[in-house]
């Protein structure tokens, strides 16, 4: 014997029927908090702030990057430190 029962209800109605809590307000609060954190941290990953953080620990790093790119492109032949000698 085969019995089919179809119940037409929304997820909210099913949760209420089984006595499960309504997690909608909690989910909304968590998503709002997550959005605030993402928006506050978005400035930290902008290209300008990343370059600023990379170049703050070594003042000669910008020159080293420039020398590296010139050497990779084959335009300079020698690094600027070799030219000073």
Average pLDDT, the chain: 80
Each domain of the chain, given as residue ranges in start order, spans 8-45, 47-85
How far CA 20 is from CA of 13, 57, 79, in Å, comes to 10, 54, 69
For 34-64, how does the pLDDT look when each residue is reduced to its tens digit (9 = 90+)? 999 988 888 777 777 777 776 666 667 777 8
Tokens of 26: 């909690």
Quote helix, strand, coil % in the chain, to nearest 5: 65, 0, 35
pLDDT 10s digits, 62-82: 778 788 888 888 775 555 555
């Amino acid at each position: 014997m085969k019995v089919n029962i179809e119940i037409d209800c929304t997820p909210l109605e099913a949760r209420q029927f089984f006595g499960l809590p309504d997690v909608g307000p909690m989910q909304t609060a968590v998503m709002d908090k997550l959005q605030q954190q993402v928006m506050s941290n978005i400035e930290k990953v902008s290209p300008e702030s990343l370059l600023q953080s990379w170049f703050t620990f070594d003042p000669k790093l910008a020159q080293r990057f420039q020398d590296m790119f010139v050497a990779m492109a084959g335009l300079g032949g020698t690094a600027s430190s070799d030219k000073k000698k």
